[in-house]
Structure 1
Amino acid sequence: MVRLTRAQQQERTRAAVLTAAKAEFTERGYTAAKVDSIAERAELTRGAVYSNFPGKRALYLAVLIDMFERAAPEHGAAGRIAAGRISASAAPARTSSADALGAFARIWLERLPLSEHSPATGRVHPGSLTEVLDDEPIRAAFGQVTRMEALLLALALESLESRAGTDTPPARQVRRAQLVLRLLDGPGTSTDPALGFGDPFDIALACAHLGGLALADTWNPPYLPYVPPARACRDPWDPPRELPDLLSRSLVGFTGDGLITVLGTHRLEAAEEAVRSARAGDLITVAVTTSDPAEIGRLVRLRIGEFARCLWRAFAPDSRPRLRLVLDDRGLLASAVGVPNADDTTEYAVRVRHDTIVTRAQGPGAAHAAATLDLTTADVSHTTPNGAAP
């Protein structure tokens, strides 16, 4: 008889729990599902379930991530609308914001179950997280994730506009993106059942019309003039080798010049500071950190992964956001940057040049401060490995 290693046995147990949990959630739904029933289905003890997952919500999110990662990329995360009545081809060239938003909406709505589907179909699918958002910390994180999604969609729209051949810089598109996502997220995440009604064709058409709506949208936060300047330094840069990029779903390294900002899940809206303040040609990395990787970390991974898949199908490669987004749930990149005690409220940024950290900033406005410091006039300080002044 072949003896399994401890790691192999743990992986087998985890797989059995996920299989049993999927069956339980499919049959009973999230609210009615019981951890004891999941343990019984898996022929394990309740303790064995909790040794792999700290609670029912973490287990449900793990089931959704498993479904998402097993799905073929060309078919989205879960399901299609009624035998392809709403469909979109993979990443063709879009000629206008209206065209791109209409395609994005159709792809996004494919994730949601229709009313004519059986009740079990809608019980386990990544498109609806209403029952999971049942306390303030995870609701706050979810709100920040949607802000990040709006920024990503806006950057794709801005890139599309910049390819139109005009000499003027593209207008900010965040307000438009927020309106689109508000419209699309209504059927999937609202706690008001009335917002779940609406023909998906009408919703997609409305999103396309938003592409032609004139909106005054600028980025000029009033607090930026009061942000303390970053600190110039010359600290060695010893990053982790590779981490998965949530947008490209590929492993990325952190050598080379660029701006790195570490943001807690309650501060993701500050990612726009990095994008708007960075210099032309900068490689921008946003590292998301959290004190609750089992639940909030999984929520970020699920939502951003699904969002990126939809975005990639709607926008051609030359219109996609040029930044990297990594979930630093083990704190590897945060530790390398020198962030002390990274958590959900962290806001820290560094600029890397020639394998050296040359600027550091912490607190509100950190990315803007690190990106805009004039190194030709700044006093250079040296820091200890954890980023603090000696």
Structure 2
Amino acid sequence: MARLTRVQQQARTRAAVLAAAREEFIEHGYAAAKVDRIAERAELTRGAVYSNFPGKRALYLAVLVDMVGHAPNVEATAAPATAEDALARFARAWLERLPLAGDTASGGRLQLRSLVGVIDDDRDRAALAQLARLEALLLAVGLESCGPGRRVRTAELALTLLSGAGVLAELAPGFGDPFDRARACGHLATLDLDDAWAPPHLPFVAPAQIVQEPLEPIDGLTDLVSGGPVDPAADGLVTVLGIERLAAAEDAVRSAARGERVTVVIAVPFETGDLVRLKVSDLTSCLRAVFPAGTWARLKIVLGDQRLATVLGVADPADDTESALRVRSGTVTARGRGLGAAYAVARSGRKAAA
């Protein structure tokens, strides 16, 4: 038998650790799980586990990401007729994760992708709040493909209802009719919420800097929404955001010219990256079951690190980073930094065209 390469061995070790960790979390739950037992299940040393994952929390998030990645992938072939129909279908896809009355408590929590007891500090809670804003934007883009008007507030309500159903299922599995909840979600699309995008800071945003800076193609990156390759150096509007500024992704989406590609680069540390990957990939697995893949063709979301941010001209990204650039024919033509950066860059492009 041919010897395994180092990369192959690392992949095999990681897979063994994830399989063992999943068994441990199903049997004992997150709080009572032990890294020593995970290592024993995987027939590895404790050091081998820690060489792949910095701790139990990272292991748990990686298990959830792996579960989402291996879940059955249902792709919609036709656009929903109405926003109400789309929202009801999205809710049905989301509610399929609810545990049944006969499931064990720990197994049900894993099925729910529950983060109760895992997210335990203010920074992580703040990150989840920003991720919820990004999730609402992604769902809203789908709903807006069914008709005119901003749908972010509708999306926020739907995600609130579904999240509440998840919490209740964790505490009282089997309670309630998921079909009733799906219909209720659909009816949210009929509410007149007077939804409009009008951030109060826009009139005070500093103008973008007009530049001429070469930018080489960037390979090896994946769009979290479609799963396909993406190059932030391709033509379009790029915004680089820290975990505290994810809500600013909507600034880029709303400000960009019609049809212009928008790439959101989320610059976060490794473990926070798994939290981002989990929330976005879990949501998009439900979205793809409802909306055709082209619905988000102009919106790309990339999980980056400090190296990628530096290549894009954003040095030392922090949690509150908000930066944007416009790329044309391999050249950065405008840059913006701080609150409203994407809006400033988009506006500079319209002025140049005029």
Equivalent residue for 2:328, pick from 353, 365, 369: 353
Corresponding residue for 1:35? 35
The SS at the match of 2:146 is helix
Corresponding residue for 1:227? 205
User: Structure 1 residue 262 and structure 2 residue 240: aligned?
Assistant: yes
CA distance in 1, matches of 2:293, 2:43: 47
Corresponding residue for 1:284? 262
Shift of 1:235: 0.6
CA distance in 2, matches of 1:218, 1:195: 37
Shift of 1:310: 0.8
User: Structure 1 residue 327 and structure 2 residue 303: aligned?
Assistant: yes
CA distance in 1, matches of 2:7, 2:172: 47
CA pair 242-210 structure 1, distance change in 2 beyond 3 A: same
Shift of 1:376: 5.8
Corresponding residue for 2:80? 94
Q: Which amino acid aligns with 2:245?
A: R
Residues 187 and 195 of structure 1 are in contact (CA less than 8 Å); yes or no, is this contact kept in structure 2?
no
CA distance in 1, matches of 2:113, 2:39: 26
Superposition pairs for residues 1-390 of structure 1, below 5 Å? 3-74=3-74, 90-119=76-105, 121-161=107-147, 170-189=148-167, 193=171, 197-291=175-269, 293=270, 295-317=271-293, 319-320=295-296, 322-328=298-304, 330-373=305-348
Q: Which amino acid aligns with 1:41?
A: R
Residues 263 and 345 of structure 1 are in contact (CA less than 8 Å); yes or no, is this contact kept in structure 2?
yes
CA pair 103-377 structure 1, distance change in 2 beyond 3 A: closer
Deviation larger for 19-28 or 39-48? 39-48
Corresponding residue for 1:84? none
Residues 92 and 182 of structure 2 are in contact (CA less than 8 Å); yes or no, is this contact kept in structure 1?
yes
CA distance in 2, matches of 1:239, 1:350: 15
Shift of 1:236: 0.6
Residues 262 and 348 of structure 1 are in contact (CA less than 8 Å); yes or no, is this contact kept in structure 2?
yes
CA distance in 1, matches of 2:108, 2:242: 31
Residues 25 and 107 of structure 2 are in contact (CA less than 8 Å); yes or no, is this contact kept in structure 1?
no
Residues 35 and 46 of structure 1 are in contact (CA less than 8 Å); yes or no, is this contact kept in structure 2?
yes
The SS at the match of 1:326 is strand
Shift of 1:3: 4.3
For structure 1, the 5+ residue unaligned runs are 75-88, 162-169, 379-390
CA RMSD of aligned residues (A): 2.4
CA pair 276-158 structure 1, distance change in 2 beyond 3 A: same
CA pair 114-286 structure 1, distance change in 2 beyond 3 A: same
The SS at the match of 1:233 is strand
CA pair 120-375 structure 1, distance change in 2 beyond 3 A: closer
The SS at the match of 1:259 is strand
The SS at the match of 1:313 is coil
Residues 264 and 302 of structure 2 are in contact (CA less than 8 Å); yes or no, is this contact kept in structure 1?
yes
Deviation larger for 259-268 or 130-139? 130-139
Task: Tell me how many residue pairs correspond in the alignment.
Answer: 353
CA distance in 1, matches of 2:13, 2:295: 42
CA pair 375-273 structure 1, distance change in 2 beyond 3 A: closer
Shift of 1:143: 1.4
Q: Which amino acid aligns with 2:16?
A: A
Q: Which amino acid aligns with 1:343?
A: A
Shift of 1:66: 1.6
CA pair 189-356 structure 1, distance change in 2 beyond 3 A: farther
Q: Which amino acid aligns with 1:336?
A: V
**1:278-325 C-alpha deviation (Å, 9 max, x unpaired):** 11221110011102x1x2111111111111111111123454463011
**How does the TM-score come out when normalised to structure 1?**
0.84
For structure 2, the 5+ residue unaligned runs are none
CA distance in 2, matches of 1:236, 1:375: 21
**1:324-373 C-alpha deviation (Å, 9 max, x unpaired):** 11111x34431221001113221110001121101101111111111111
**How does the TM-score come out when normalised to structure 2?**
0.92
Residues 97 and 211 of structure 1 are in contact (CA less than 8 Å); yes or no, is this contact kept in structure 2?
yes
**1:88-141 C-alpha deviation (Å, 9 max, x unpaired):** x83433111111111010011012212233445314225322232222222211
**1:61-83 C-alpha deviation (Å, 9 max, x unpaired):** 11112222222313xxxxxxxxx
Residues 130 and 188 of structure 1 are in contact (CA less than 8 Å); yes or no, is this contact kept in structure 2?
no
**1:257-298 C-alpha deviation (Å, 9 max, x unpaired):** 21000111221100000011111221110011102x1x2111
Residues 127 and 188 of structure 1 are in contact (CA less than 8 Å); yes or no, is this contact kept in structure 2?
no
CA pair 353-25 structure 1, distance change in 2 beyond 3 A: same
CA distance in 1, matches of 2:136, 2:48: 39
Q: Which has the higher helix share?
A: 2
CA distance in 1, matches of 2:345, 2:169: 40
CA distance in 2, matches of 1:308, 1:299: 14
Deviation larger for 331-340 or 240-249? 331-340
CA pair 10-289 structure 1, distance change in 2 beyond 3 A: same
CA pair 279-313 structure 1, distance change in 2 beyond 3 A: same
CA distance in 1, matches of 2:136, 2:297: 11
